[in-house]
Structure 1
Amino acid sequence: MLSIVVIIYILLIQQPYQTYQLETIQVTLASTVELPCSIGQNIEPTNPAKIIWIRDDRADIVSLDSVITVRDRRLSILTMDSMDREERILRITNVEEQDQGLYRCVRGDITLNEILLDILIPPRIISHSPEHMRKTIREGHNARFSCTASGRPTPVIVWHVNGLSRPAIVTTITGKNESILILRNVSRFDSGRVDCSASNTLSTVNRQFLLHVKYKPTVTVPFHLSYFRLYDSVTITCRACSLPSTTLFDFFRPKQVAPIINDVKDKFDEFINQTCRQLTITLYLGDSSLFGAYVCRARNSIGISHADFVIKELVQSTKYVKYITESRPSTSLSSSSSIVTTSLTKIKSAEDDDASKRHAEYSYKTSNTIKTEVIARKNQAYQLSTSLVLILVLFIISQC
């Protein structure tokens, strides 16, 4: 039993002396951090060794007791000695990214403290494509953007198109922390901002690209069919939107190369915004040949488009507009028409008088018939009542 106790005692004596636990300290760039190291005076009082700070990843002796041994003015040792404790605090001001690593405080062959210094770094976008932050592409093609970000913790990259999360293909290259956005089959409505955002626990940074989508003109007219009278003045508007701007913009007749010039009273061309123009013309319909189909045509470097519309002649009922297609009647015809009209009027009046007489006779006969029937019914009732009285008188006499 005694031998076992002796063996355990020897093993304890040979066991390395440890009074520390691995500690991690996180700090941000440009801040100040203090790494503590202390030892009690009553522990190994006969050990004359000094307290030393060592940076393991570089194998640098940072300090010897209270003296800094490297050329770095940001480093200093805070010495605090008392009756029962010695402290050598390593202080680092204006922390830089290169300060990250493992620091050990030792005394002789004994490690007193071990600290992992973790430097938190805000996200940074270190590269991007396109470099000039602008991209121009034709409608229907694919647009490619990329962002590479650094930071600690590793930033997460998110894409937005005009403030929205548009369905797209996003590829992340982990080793470089590069994110690639591919917009397939872009349309003119994708024109605008494409934002790349990199975020970690500290902050968020952005890069904003401008996307320009080129497309051929889109031509619109307010009405595709309109009715007007001959000799009217008609105002027609046409709007064309395109990128790049429209170079050809005018009104044409179908299958005609030259724009309409004749019978145009007024013409006004204006820009509505950066991509849209509006053309307005006033056309005098002085000839029936001006009724028919028209074309508003616009062209830019991408392509050509048009919108059709039709102007039709407005014709009222023939009872009121015979003067449009026939000549004015002669005087003799007018007189004849008056005579015929007068005769017809007289005949109609005579017919009306005859009908009135027949109606009066019918009413008189009907009235007499009704009166006769009423008198007959009264007589029958009187005779019946007289008979009843006579029968009653005879019955009374017979009883007496």
Structure 2
Amino acid sequence: MTRREPCRSFAISVIQIITIICQVLTEEPRFAEPIPNVTVALGRDASLPCVVEHLGTYKVAWIHIDRQMILTIHRHVITRLARFSVSHDNAMTWLLHVSQVQQEDRGYYMCQVNTNPMISQVGYLQVVVPPNILDEESTQSAVAVRENQNISLVCKADGFPTPKIMWRREDGQPISVDRRKKVTVYEGDTLSLQRISRTEMGAYLCIATNAVPPSVSKRIIVDVEFSPMIWVPNQLVGAPAGTDVTVDCHTEAHPRAISYWVYDNVMVLPTKKYAINTEENSYRAHMKLTVRNLQTGDFGNYRCISKNSLGETEGSIRLYEIPMPSTSPKATEMKSNANKESVRRVNVSRSVSRVEAGTERPSVVRAQLDRAPDRDAAHHVYRPPHTQHVSGTKRIHCWRQSFLAIIVLVQVDLIV
């Protein structure tokens, strides 16, 4: 019994090995993993894998379901399209290669094994296409419209997925939508501008994007046409003879206007006498005229004129002569004289008020002040008038008036 047991164990092992080999040889093919969905950009290369276990003597075929077209069988390419090929890694993977993928290659692909019954699995090839603007279906690159009219800008694009259209202004300014609100970005393939104004003139960008790089854009220039307008900052300008003076006008016009100056019904041309400068920005212009060394014949009416194909307008500026400013006296002298004069007036007024408070009349005080030049200016001594032929009470009355006048004058001289 002991010798028979090893022989029995060996036999059992051999039988098990033979059973496994038979199972392997007789096991049907099966797919080890599903075919993944593959996304590729237009014009790139793509590959679809099909992994089959226990293929044995069976064959693998690739079929384009949407076209109902057999592409490959085993290692052979059946289709006449040179962009399709097949490869085998000598293991379980069969690869279908598509080079320079086109939009018609998009769809379902079947990997099939010719068992009985047949087995198969399906994968999807997604072909994405970057956006492309269709110029023939879109607004041309430059359009013109009269001010206060309506205009619609159209931008069409194709691609896969379907592109989204956005509008922006190139200068970053907002877009007026239906005259009720303003937006920085407007979405949609048609942009409608109602009662367009000159401030909406400029370049508009149509941008198409679908998350497949690169995004594309189209630039559409909108010209808003209107007749010229002029406004003058200063219609009256004064300047002295012999100086230089500059007058200016502001204009707006589109199409671009012809602007010039007229004086005395004659067009002003750049000379040594006249300097002309015009600064332009979009539809705006700033006209400047400088007249050098003004003379009598240079004063008068100057006109700035602007005209384009839609109309003409003008502005008027009156240039008149003003006297040359004189040299003013020194401030120190004016201050000194003013102070002395004010002090003298204050003291005189105080003295007069004091006299008025006495018994004498104001007319007597004025008379004595009028006779003030009779005093000796060098010694500040007042010389009274002659009192001959005056006697009694009249002489005393005159001396009293003279004494009061002396007090007033002495006070004035001391203060001065």
- Where on the TM-score scale, by shorter chain, does this alignment land: which range? 0.5 to 0.7
Q: Distance in 2 between matches of 1:363 and 1:350?
A: 13
Match runs of 1:299-338 below 5 Å: 299-312=307-320, 314=322
1:250: which partner in 2?
261
Match runs of 1:196-345 below 5 Å: 196-203=206-213, 204-228=215-239, 235-247=246-258, 249-251=260-262, 258=265, 266-273=273-280, 276=285, 278=287, 280=289, 282=291, 286=296, 295-312=303-320, 314=322
- Is the CA contact (8 Å cut-off) linking 1:19 and 1:112 kept in structure 2? no
- Is the CA contact (8 Å cut-off) linking 2:247 and 2:317 kept in structure 1? no
Q: Distance in 1 between matches of 2:243 and 2:167?
A: 57
- Is the CA contact (8 Å cut-off) linking 1:271 and 1:278 kept in structure 2? yes
Query: Per-residue deviation at 1:282?
Result: 3.2
Aligned AA (1:306): E
Count of matched residue positions in the alignment of Structure 1 and Structure 2: 301
Q: Distance in 2 between matches of 1:58 and 1:249?
A: 73
1:102: which partner in 2?
108
Q: Distance in 1 between matches of 2:58 and 2:243?
A: 113
- Is the CA contact (8 Å cut-off) linking 1:219 and 1:307 kept in structure 2? yes
Query: 71, 76, 92: which one pairs with 2:80?
Result: 71
Distance 1:353 1:31, change over 3 A: farther
1:80: which partner in 2?
89
- Is the CA contact (8 Å cut-off) linking 2:48 and 2:97 kept in structure 1? yes
Distance 1:238 1:87, change over 3 A: closer
Distance 1:129 1:184, change over 3 A: farther
> How does the TM-score come out when normalised to structure 2?
0.60
- Is the CA contact (8 Å cut-off) linking 2:139 and 2:154 kept in structure 1? no
Aligned AA (2:129): I
Match runs of 1:25-174 below 5 Å: 25-41=38-54, 49-82=58-91, 86-108=92-114, 109-127=117-135, 132-164=140-172, 166-169=174-177
Q: Distance in 1 between matches of 2:324 and 2:290?
A: 26
Query: Per-residue deviation at 1:191?
Result: 2.9
Q: Distance in 2 between matches of 1:186 and 1:19?
A: 66
Query: Per-residue deviation at 1:52?
Result: 1.5
Distance 1:73 1:178, change over 3 A: farther
2:25: which partner in 1?
none
Task: Report the 3-state secondary structure (helix = DSSP H, G, I; strand = E; otherwise coil) of the residue aligned with 2:135.
Answer: strand
- Is the CA contact (8 Å cut-off) linking 1:233 and 1:285 kept in structure 2? no
Query: Per-residue deviation at 1:39?
Result: 1.8
Kindly report the root-mean-square deviation, in angstroms, between the aligned alpha carbons of the 2 structures: 4.1
Match runs of 1:183-202 below 5 Å: 183-202=193-212
Query: Per-residue deviation at 1:313?
Result: 5.2
1:181: which partner in 2?
191
Aligned AA (1:105): C
- Residue deviations 1:171-224, cap 9 Å, x none? xxxxxx970112233333333321111112122111112222222223243423
Distance 1:143 1:164, change over 3 A: farther
- Is the CA contact (8 Å cut-off) linking 1:241 and 1:277 kept in structure 2? no
Match runs of 1:334-373 below 5 Å: 350-351=371-372, 361-362=406-407
- Is the CA contact (8 Å cut-off) linking 1:269 and 1:277 kept in structure 2? no
- Is the CA contact (8 Å cut-off) linking 1:196 and 1:208 kept in structure 2? yes
Query: Per-residue deviation at 1:60?
Result: 0.7
Aligned AA (2:151): A
Query: Per-residue deviation at 1:123?
Result: 1.1
- Residue deviations 1:125-152, cap 9 Å, x none? 1236665411122222233221111122
- Is the CA contact (8 Å cut-off) linking 1:139 and 1:213 kept in structure 2? yes
Distance 1:359 1:106, change over 3 A: farther
Task: Report the 3-state secondary structure (helix = DSSP H, G, I; strand = E; otherwise coil) of the residue aligned with 1:272.
Answer: strand
Identical amino acids, percent of aligned pairs: 21
Query: Per-residue deviation at 1:64?
Result: 1.4
Which structure 2 residue ranges, 5 or more long, are not aligned?
A: 1-29, 179-186, 329-367, 383-402, 412-416
**Which range is displaced more, 87-96 or 215-224?**
215-224
Task: Report the 3-state secondary structure (helix = DSSP H, G, I; strand = E; otherwise coil) of the residue aligned with 2:149.
Answer: coil
Aligned AA (2:95): I
Q: Distance in 2 between matches of 1:132 and 1:24?
A: 40
Q: Distance in 1 between matches of 2:406 and 2:58?
A: 155
- Is the CA contact (8 Å cut-off) linking 1:149 and 1:178 kept in structure 2? no
- Is the CA contact (8 Å cut-off) linking 2:164 and 2:208 kept in structure 1? yes
